[in-house]
């Protein structure tokens, strides 16, 4: 079906030999050789009183320096530049964008289907049009002044892979179907809140107080046709298509700053409604939507089939083995229509994408060495093993690459310090629940702490200064981390690169502890527990660092480190029983709201028992940020929120993890898609091809 690339083991061996030679010799090598030299010598001599010239032949051994003949190194070329092969692990769950909520499925959908807008290259804070003609803004009238109405002008002349034409009603159907399907394991809750104002995450919220959420049988058996009709009509009124005008309008219940970020994800991909209906999906009739409610991917009509407008078409999918995509030779983009400025345009350069699943690392590594894979998934522990073959280091922010001085002929390229969208932090409970076994005596008597110990801001400031951030990154993250200065992660709208952050400073830690609680702590001391979930070595390291640093200041400052099984850890955290706990967050959408909300007023604020007055200060900024439609306005609001977060020191913000990508050096134009799912193969090329 497709031809894989093979450099052959011989070439790999030659490359390794070249690396060893370069490592063992200076850059310019001079070779000294002994050679036999024959010369003709004419001398003037005196014989029998007469001066005469005598010619003789002399043979002697001399040492000469021989400079090696330069060898031109050919650029590394793939044996088949039409095929891109990646070897990873983790299969897709569904090809239905209305059900998608995992990265593997999102990667497939993103390359076969398209949404109204997409991310602007590696910029995770701005968007470019895809199936829409432009990104709606306040300035172009696409967003109403109150931030409730979004109008998209739909691109004409776009066809689906099966030949159907894209029309506005396809867009409306795609969103209506997803909202009504409202599967509890999908991402639809992210759309239900701004579009319908439902915080429960289910379209049946207004029926019997949500009693049938996620229960299709109960819904059909107990709800009247009139109530069911009302739900569907509300959805259809919220997303309206006008085929004649070429528009789709979202009449949202709430002004929602992250709305564009939400629909830019794979669950915003646009179905061909006629094709979907022909394949058994909802027929668009309000009388039948309940028959398609909460199906689960295993029962969904579109889980194993896909039809999009994107640059690639599905050739095959074998569960447990992977999928193959082939170029859409009728792709609608022309050479003068780049996705973003300087981005890909025209027909796909790579004709076949092979996504192969191999769970065993040794096999993936062997395929990478042999050139049978363009890129493979590399576990963190195995990165040093692959580093031995890296010949080029690249910066994802600038796209610039430099040769590895120790191994310039290495066959691989390494992109390091790729920021992740998750982070572990330290949370201090302002008012620990009564009866907690993790605060010792419950008194400031040297054997415990009072329940409200961390309500004193000097205690919280001290903990921030007592954290050795560099050691944490080095030991807990194997050096693969970058510090953040508040809830919002690096590179996201609202992250202030000039924002303040706490440095490791034992003197300041000691000073604030001496000030806290009326100055009694240095003499009385304290004792409390720091918890982590058992098996999470990184979080355990957090406790060990704080324990050692506090003890170094004063032996009366005692910290116990407690490992808990995950269920116990979660229950104790939710019940505010633990005074200090290390836990993590993984974003749902790449938007600051998905970070500031849980950290300051939502999930973690509740678990930390944040005081009402402090939570109210954060709530004002959180609400203003999510309801503001103008990105510049949102940014300033989040700058203010991050400043408040820093000043109040409600958490210890640690480091955002970073990833690494290894690829063959013949791969061209890979870029880091922060906030997006997977890889965008359309942007890629292969040396030796287009």
In the chain, the percentage of residues whose pLDDT exceeds 70 is 89
Model pLDDT, residue 33: 43
Nearest 5°: phi and psi at 428? -105, 130
> Locate tokens 């000039």: which residue?
498
Answer for the pair 137, 330: CB distance below 8 angstroms, yes or no.
no
d(CA 49, CA 269): 110
In the chain, the percentage of residues whose pLDDT exceeds 90 is 73
Quickly list DSSP for 172-209.
Answer: HHHHHHHHHH--TTSSTHHHHHHHH--SSS-TTTTSGG
Tokens describing residue 167: 């029309």
* pLDDT for 29 beyond 70: no
Tokens describing residue 123: 């910029």
Mean pLDDT of the chain: 88
Least confident of 6-15, 530-539, 609-618: 6-15
* pLDDT for 28 beyond 50: no
Model pLDDT, residue 50: 52
Answer for the pair 282, 177: CB distance below 8 angstroms, yes or no.
yes
Q: What is the mean pLDDT of residues 111-115?
A: 98
Model pLDDT, residue 185: 85
Tokens describing residue 593: 């709201």
Confidence of residue 689 (pLDDT cuts 50, 70, 90): low
Model pLDDT, residue 18: 37
* pLDDT for 338 beyond 60: yes
Model pLDDT, residue 235: 98
Least confident of 52-66, 173-187, 298-312: 52-66
Model pLDDT, residue 526: 98
Answer for the pair 399, 671: CB distance below 8 angstroms, yes or no.
yes
Model pLDDT, residue 45: 46
Q: What is the mean pLDDT of residues 532-553?
A: 94
Q: What is the mean pLDDT of residues 609-631?
A: 91
d(CA 256, CA 438): 41
* pLDDT for 456 beyond 70: yes
- Sign, Cα dihedral of 162, 168, 172, 173: negative
Tell me the pLDDT tens digit for each residue of 58-90. Answer: 445 555 444 443 333 345 678 899 999 999 988
Answer for the pair 489, 595: CB distance below 8 angstroms, yes or no.
yes
Confidence of residue 14 (pLDDT cuts 50, 70, 90): very low
* pLDDT for 230 beyond 50: yes
Model pLDDT, residue 12: 33
The gap between the terminal CA atoms of the chain, to the nearest Å, is 21
Model pLDDT, residue 9: 34
Cβ neighbour number for residue 98 with a 10 Å cutoff: 30
DSSP 219: H
Cβ neighbour number for residue 34 with a 10 Å cutoff: 8
Identify which has the larger pLDDT, 467 or 476: 467
3-state SS class at 463: helix
Answer for the pair 550, 499: CB distance below 8 angstroms, yes or no.
no
Model pLDDT, residue 103: 84
Residue spans of alpha helices (H) in 516-592? 521-524, 537-553, 566-574
The model carries a pTM of 0.74
Residue spans of alpha helices (H) in 159-292? 168-181, 189-196, 216-222, 225-238, 259-263, 273-278
d(CA 559, CA 548): 9
* pLDDT for 19 beyond 70: no
Domains of the chain: 9-66 (no CATH), 115-299 (3.90.76.10), 420-658 (3.10.105.10)
Confidence of residue 480 (pLDDT cuts 50, 70, 90): confident
Those residues whose C-beta lies under 8 Å from the C-beta of residue 76, and which sit 6 or more positions away, are 411, 664, 665, 666, 687
d(CA 148, CA 249): 10
Tell me the pLDDT tens digit for each residue of 123-167. Answer: 877 899 999 999 999 999 999 999 999 999 999 999 999 999 999
Those residues whose C-beta lies under 8 Å from the C-beta of residue 17, and which sit 6 or more positions away, are none
Burial-class residue 617 by CB neighbours within 10 Å (0-12, 13-18, 19+).
middle
Tokens describing residue 205: 């919220």
Model pLDDT, residue 76: 66
Tokens describing residue 150: 């979004």
* pLDDT for 232 beyond 70: yes
Q: Residue 356's beta-bridge partner residues? A: 87, 322
Model pLDDT, residue 636: 97
With left for phi above 0 and alpha for psi between -120 and 50, is residue 157 left, alpha or beta? left
Q: What is the mean pLDDT of residues 503-515?
A: 98
* pLDDT for 222 beyond 90: yes
Model pLDDT, residue 4: 35
Nearest 5°: phi and psi at 475? -90, -40
Q: Chain-centre distance of CA 386, in angstroms?
A: 22
DSSP 590: S
Q: What angle do CA 305, 311, 312 make, to 5 degrees?
A: 40
Cβ neighbour number for residue 325 with a 10 Å cutoff: 25
> Locate tokens 């039948």: which residue?
288
3-state SS class at 15: helix
Torsion of CA 117, 120, 123, 125, to 10 degrees: -40
Quickly list DSSP for 478-496.
Answer: TT-EEE-SSSSPTTSTT--
Model pLDDT, residue 30: 40
């Amino acid at each position: 079906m497709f031809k894989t690339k093979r450099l052959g083991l011989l070439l790999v061996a030659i490359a390794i030999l070249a690396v060893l030679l370069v490592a063992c010799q200076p850059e310019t090598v001079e070779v000294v050789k002994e050679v036999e030299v024959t010369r003709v010598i004419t001398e003037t001599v005196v014989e029998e009183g007469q001066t005469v010239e005598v010619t003789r032949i002399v043979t002697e051994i001399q040492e000469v320096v021989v400079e090696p003949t330069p060898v031109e190194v050919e650029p590394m070329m793939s044996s088949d530049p039409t095929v891109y092969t990646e070897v990873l692990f983790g299969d897709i769950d569904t090809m239905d964008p209305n059900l998608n909520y995992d990265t593997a499925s999102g990667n497939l959908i993103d390359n076969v289907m398209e949404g109204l807008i997409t991310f602007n290259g590696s910029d995770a804070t701005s968007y470019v049009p895809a199936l829409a003609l432009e990104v709606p803004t306040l300035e172009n009238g696409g967003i109403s002044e109150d931030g409730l109405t979004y109008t998209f002008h739909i691109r004409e002349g776009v066809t689906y892979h099966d030949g159907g034409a894209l029309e506005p009603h396809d867009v409306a159907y795609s969103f209506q179907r997803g909202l009504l399907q409202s599967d509890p394991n999908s991402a639809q809750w992210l759309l239900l809140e701004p579009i319908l104002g439902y915080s429960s995450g289910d379209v049946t919220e207004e029926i019997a107080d949500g009693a049938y959420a996620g229960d299709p049988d109960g819904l059909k058996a107990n709800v009247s046709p009139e109530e069911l009709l009302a739900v569907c009509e509300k959805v259809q009124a919220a997303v309206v298509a006008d085929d004649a005008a070429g528009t789709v309008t979202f009449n949202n219940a709430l002004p929602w700053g992250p709305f564009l970020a939400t629909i830019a994800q794979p669950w915003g991909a646009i179905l061909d409604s006629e094709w979907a209906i022909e394949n058994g999906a909802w027929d668009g009739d309000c009388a039948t939507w309940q028959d398609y409610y909460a199906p689960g991917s295993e029962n969904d009509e579109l889980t194993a089939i896909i039809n999009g407008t994107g640059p690639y078409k599905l050739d095959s999918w074998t569960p447990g083995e992977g999928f193959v995509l082939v170029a859409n030779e009728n792709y609608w983009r022309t050479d003068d229509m780049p996705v973003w400025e300087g981005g890909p345009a025209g027909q796909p350069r790579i004709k076949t994408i092979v996504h192969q699943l191999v769970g065993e690392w040794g096999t993936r590594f062997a395929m990478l060495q042999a050139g049978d894979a363009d890129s493979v998934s590399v576990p963190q522990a195995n990165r040093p093993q692959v580093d031995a073959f890296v010949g080029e280091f690249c910066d994802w922010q600038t796209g610039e690459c430099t040769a590895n001085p120790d191994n310039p002929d290495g066959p691989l390229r390494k992109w390091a310090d790729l920021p992740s969208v998750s982070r572990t932090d330290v949370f201090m409970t302002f008012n620990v629940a009564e009866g907690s076994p993790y605060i010792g005596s419950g008194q400031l008597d040297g054997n415990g702490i009072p329940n409200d110990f961390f309500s004193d801001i000097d205690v919280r400031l001290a903990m921030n200064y007592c954290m050795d951030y560099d050691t944490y990154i080095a030991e807990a993250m194997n050096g693969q981390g970058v510090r953040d200065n508040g809830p919002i992660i690096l590179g996201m709208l609202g992250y202030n690169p000039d924002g303040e952050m706490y440095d490791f400073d034992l003197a300041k830690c000691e000073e604030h502890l001496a000030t806290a609680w009326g100055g009694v702590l240095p003499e009385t001391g304290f004792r409390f527990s720091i918890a982590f979930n058992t098996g999470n070595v990184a979080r355990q390291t957090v406790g060990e660092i704080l324990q050692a640093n506090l003890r170094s200041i004063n032996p009366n400052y005692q910290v116990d480190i407690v490992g808990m099984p995950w269920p116990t850890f979660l229950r104790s955290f939710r019940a505010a029983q633990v005074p200090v706990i290390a836990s993590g967050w993984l974003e749902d959408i790449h938007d600051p709201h998905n970070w500031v909300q849980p950290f300051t007023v939502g999930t973690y604020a509740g678990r930390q028992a944040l005081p009402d007055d402090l939570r109210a200060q954060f709530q004002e900024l959180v609400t203003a940020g999510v309801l503001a439609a103008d990105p510049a306005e949102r940014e300033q609001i989040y700058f203010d929120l991050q400043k408040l977060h820093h000043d109040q020191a409600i958490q210890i913000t640690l480091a955002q993890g970073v990833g690494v990508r290894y690829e063959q050096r013949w791969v061209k134009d890979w870029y880091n898609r922060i906030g997006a799912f997977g890889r965008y193969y359309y942007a890629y090329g292969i040396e030796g091809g287009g």
